[in-house]
Structure 1
Amino acid sequence: MKTTILLAALLVSHFAFVQTFASPPNVVLIMADDFGYECVGANGGTSYQTPVLDQMARDGIRFDHCHAQPLCTPTRVQLMTGISNARNYKDFGVLPRSEMTFGKVFQEAGYATCVAGKWQLGRQRNSPQHFGFDESCVWQQSRGRTDKQGHDTRFANPLLDVNGVPRAFTGGQYGPDVVSDFICDFIGRNQDRPFLVYYPMILTHCPFSPTPDSADWEASSRGSKTYKGDPQYFGDMVAYTDKMVGKINTKLESLGLAENTLVLFLGDNGTDEPIVSVCNEQRVAGAKGETIDTGTHVPLIGTWPSVIAAGQVCDDLIDTTDFFPTIVAAAGVDVPEGLDGRSFLPQLRGEPGNPRPWIHAWYKPRKKSDLAVWVRTKRFKLYRDGEFFDTRRDPLEKHRLDPKQLNNDAAGAYEVLSAELNAGTEKEGSSRN
């Protein structure tokens, strides 16, 4: 009887997945800016209100071991190309125009494609379109982060590029509202065909400043002149991030599209350093830009009602190179050869999949910066310079382990990571360019 029940369950699951592929799914990839794992209530965070993300975790799947690069552009390049920074990263704010992106793959497969939010991957007027996005509404494309008077341009009365045309919003608008409205309009206009939305959010990057839901919001503000702003507003910005995700979800539901739409939410790196949060009864200081866990550990939550069973928690390692092959495979499109990422689509379906045993990270965000290279499992981490840490017991990496005095678990991990570190060195510089 148990065998019959199990077989029936598998057949139902397979049928649901085939049905999804019979009607190509929509894909919405949302990435919050400077938003660490500890910010989400479903992950054990207690400092902020994230009811939408918490509900998504209950309705779908959340991952406990997703790691990004420690800084924005390195993560964005990996995410967009599925390639390790060791092979195609050139400089901060740059994505080589010779690179293939998931936007291009979806576009060539007949999807309507849209990017809205923070760009930072090329100043050319057609940069988003060149990389495969039919429509775009982005910040930091043709212009920098501040205006001539030094005001930040992303939040109150923002300066954005809409389909390659610079626009100044001066009527009391809020940048995150403008780009999310653009996305909702795009979804409405393309509801009768499969679409890809890439939403690299403007929130929660500094300057920490009031949102329209803050008591002291000023619609006439021209933006902060202080880079960091005031950390007291970070909680309001997290709440607004959650609200923007809810806005997209509500749009999908109102059009009857939610059932056949894969929505993935992650952060691009750890929370910024002025912010201290509480997660699982532990104080967590943001470490954006640093290679410790609080600089790379980010939330990952996914929903896809026709495919993902509710209430799943996955313990597998996920790297930001893994998103390209995952969303392309979810669309039923052939995954390009030569990617460094591994698809976690099977895990979304509740199957074992082929989880990665380690993450190999190469991090050099600016030409003047020192290079950091490391390989890690969920617990152990080995740097190229020989530093070896147990991140479970020592998340801040204060106590280096002596390779000559390791217990069985640590000794086995050290041997495996050493071999991968050496093998990975051979890939560096083997760009597709």
Structure 2
Amino acid sequence: MDTRPNVLLLVTDQERYDLSTPDGPDVRTTGYDRLQAEGMRFERAYTPISICTSARASLLTGLYPHNHGMLNNCHGNEAVLRNLPERFPTFARRLQADGYETSYVGKWHVGRDQRPEHFGFDQYQGTDSNVLDDTLRAYHRSFGIDSDEIELEDESYTDHPDDPDLVSATLPIPIEATRTYYYTELTIDRLRRYANDANDGTPFLHRLDYPGPHHPYVVPEPYASMYDPVEIEPWSSYSETFDGKPRIHELQLANRGDRSFDWDDWAPIVSKYFGYVSLIADQVDRLLAALDELGLTENTVVVHTSDHGDFTGSHRQFNKGPLMYEETYHLPLVVRWPDVVEPGSVCTEFVRLHDLMPMILDIAGLDAPSGIDGRSIRPLLEGSTPADWPQRVFAEYHGDEFGFYSQRMLANHRFKYVHNAFDIDELYDHDADPHELRNLIDHPEYESVRHSLQEALLEEMGRTHDPFLEWTEKALR
């Protein structure tokens, strides 16, 4: 009988790190709290890039974006690649070939013309966007709801005069009729099938990708009014002045459509974001209860993470990128592995989203493919830190809807350095300035720190075969 662990991978879209931490805002995160109490929480998990398609491709392949080629989102006219090249190994394809049953529910967003079935998942149910697809329409009808008759309430929009984007709203339907609940139901149904097939000894990999808490932050009651905007204090970084920062930081207010927003505008939006996180965390709690009920808990590794974070008003910004702040690069990551991970443990080592690809293979007893950038974090899960574990993290950005703006980032336990190819660089001292408000790039007392981080950045670019190394070296040396 195959006794290898099952894997349940839970990926959210654009979830901030700080909302589910003990010292973060007072947000109800029931399912996340249980996972942390029974698993390991990672304090320094980072995405390799703060944009959906690129980060998701990295999670799937274990590669940095500059190595898998999906440099920006695949759906727009500006997409560098429409689809992820199928030549790259993926964790799902490897597990599928080694006898795992594999399935996927929810958001995909890795390619226009491909779906999870192209990369190793036997079954897929979901969609790439917030568009009402036929399956969700049918689900709504089971509640007596006509999808086309749903009228949002309490809406907030960006300040683009000709084409404002929806930012947040109240969804006037039952919790049970939402897409978030529906995807949870599909996953629980899949878990039931696996439990019924458990006697044949086949392990499973199931991935659930929630479309939230990505904007628009549209949630039903009681989540829509769970957090009083009046009681939500401005983020510490909301006092951003853009003094000494790259010009794109202030231009983003116009690009994203929040130039006219003050905190009275942001507070009700943030309250909906908080509500969205609570809605998803409650669904995770339902999933954990289902694992208990079905007798799957003890042999199932549960992983929760996100593709990247969200500004939600931090630094006065909406959405994400091209700004390499902690709010969008720092990730939530929790792993529960009964009898292996110490319950309630916290890891302070640097890990990356693309480290999960080799980790999942490692859990299944499989070697990682040669040439990937990720490294299995299994030793950390088992309570040991290899002597050569990296004490820094490297990340990148290649532009988005507003044109290319090449960036590279190198951070250690105290400092962060950002190289902006077309503007001034950034240097932040997280001990003195945890909210990254003061750019120290030209401060004479930090000259040696700057040079050290620049050299470390170039080392990482060389080690990972970054094609921009040649030009970055000329700029920094």
Normalised by the length of structure 1, the TM-score is: 0.77
CA contact 1:117–1:137 (8 Å) conserved in 2: yes
CA contact 2:43–2:348 (8 Å) conserved in 1: yes
* Partner Cα separation in structure 1 for residue 277 and residue 363 of structure 2: 29
CA contact 1:267–1:298 (8 Å) conserved in 2: yes
**Range that drifts further, 251-260 or 372-381:** 372-381
- Structure 2 matches for 1:308-387, cutoff 5 A? 308-353=341-386, 354-366=388-400, 368-385=403-420, 386-387=425-426
- Structure 2 matches for 1:256-295, cutoff 5 A? 256-274=295-313, 288-289=320-321, 290-295=323-328
- 1:159 pairs with one of 133, 149, 164: 133
* Partner Cα separation in structure 2 for residue 107 and residue 113 of structure 1: 6
Which runs of structure 1 show a deviation greater than 6 angstroms over 4 or more consecutive aligned residues?
A: 226-229, 283-287
CA-based RMSD: 3.1
2:348 maps to amino acid:
D
**Range that drifts further, 349-358 or 257-266:** 349-358
**Structure 1, residues 31-71: CA drift from partner, whole Å, max 9, x if none?**
1111111111x432233101221121121110111111222
1:81 matched to 2:61: yes
Structure 2 residue aligned with 1:104: 93
Task: Give the percent of matched residue pairs that are identical in Structure 1 and Structure 2.
Answer: 25
Query: Per the alignment, in what secondary structure is the counterpart of residue 286 of structure 2?
Result: helix
Query: Per the alignment, in what secondary structure is the counterpart of residue 57 of structure 1?
Result: helix
Count of equivalent residues: 374
Query: Per the alignment, in what secondary structure is the counterpart of residue 186 of structure 2?
Result: helix
1:116 matched to 2:105: yes
Structure 2 residue aligned with 1:34: 14
Structure 2 residue aligned with 1:406: 446
Change (3 A) 1:189 1:261: same
CA contact 2:440–2:446 (8 Å) conserved in 1: no
- Structure 2 matches for 1:153-192, cutoff 5 A? 153=131, 158-159=132-133, 169-171=139-141, 172=145, 173-191=177-195, 192=198
Structure 1 residue aligned with 2:45: 66
Unaligned regions of 5+ residues in structure 2, if any? 75-81, 146-176, 227-256, 259-265, 470-477
Structure 2 residue aligned with 1:6: none
Unaligned regions of 5+ residues in structure 1, if any? 1-20, 146-151, 218-225, 277-282
Structure 1 residue aligned with 2:217: 208
Structure 2 residue aligned with 1:223: none
Change (3 A) 1:216 1:169: farther
* Partner Cα separation in structure 1 for residue 83 and residue 438 of structure 2: 34
* Partner Cα separation in structure 2 for residue 306 and residue 251 of structure 1: 19
**TM superposition shift of 1:390:** 2.0
Structure 1 residue aligned with 2:161: none
Normalised by the length of structure 2, the TM-score is: 0.71
Structure 1 residue aligned with 2:126: 138
* Partner Cα separation in structure 1 for residue 466 and residue 355 of structure 2: 17
* Partner Cα separation in structure 1 for residue 375 and residue 418 of structure 2: 22
* Partner Cα separation in structure 2 for residue 427 and residue 303 of structure 1: 34
Query: Per the alignment, in what secondary structure is the counterpart of residue 28 of structure 1?
Result: strand
- 1:92 pairs with one of 70, 73, 84: 73
* Partner Cα separation in structure 2 for residue 39 and residue 376 of structure 1: 22
Query: Per the alignment, in what secondary structure is the counterpart of residue 102 of structure 2?
Result: strand
